[in-house]
Amino acid sequence: RAYKKMKLLFQILTIALLFMTTSCCDILCERQEHAQLIIEKVEKFKQNKGRLPKNVTEIGLNDTQMHLSFYQLTSDTTYMVWYGLSLGESKIYRSETKKWTEEG
């Protein structure tokens, strides 16, 4: 029974991933996906090391993709990730609220 549930969950996730990769092809989607990758890696790092990374190189990302989205520590226990939407406007994720906001 648990196997069937896991198999169904895997199928749903696979379909969702395929949908996201085919429908998300512009630069804003690429920025959003990169930002989400940073968040996932930061949270995993925090879980494993008990602290937040100082920069993206500590989570295995290199600086060559930093034009897509950005990571910044805001304190010892909080961080933000953001990317540009248009000139002067950004979409910002704050770890303390775990929510995205648009600012600019």
- 68 close to 78: Cβ distance less than 8 angstroms: no
57: tokens are 């190189």
Average of pLDDT values for 47-60?
Answer: 95
> Does residue 100 have a pLDDT over 90?
yes
Asked if the model's pLDDT at residue 24 lies above 70, the reply is no
Q: At 80, which helix (H) or strand (E)?
A: strand 79-86
Amino acid at position 41, single letter: K
Report the pLDDT value the prediction gives residue 28, as an integer from 0 to 100: 84
Question: Does 18 or 69 have the greater pLDDT score?
Answer: 69
User: How many whole angstroms separate alpha carbon 12 and alpha carbon 96?
Assistant: 29
Give the pLDDT score at 17: 60
CA–CA separation, 12 vs 28, rounded Å? Answer: 24
Per-residue confidence (pLDDT) for residue 79, from 0 to 100: 98
CB count within 10 Å of CB 58 equals 15
pLDDT at 21: 52
pLDDT digits (tens, 9 = 90+) for 28-45: 888 999 999 999 999 999
Residue 71 is given by DSSP the state: E
Give the separation between CA 68 and CA 56, rounded to whole angstroms: 13
- Identify the CA nearest to 79 among candidates 55, 50, 44: 55
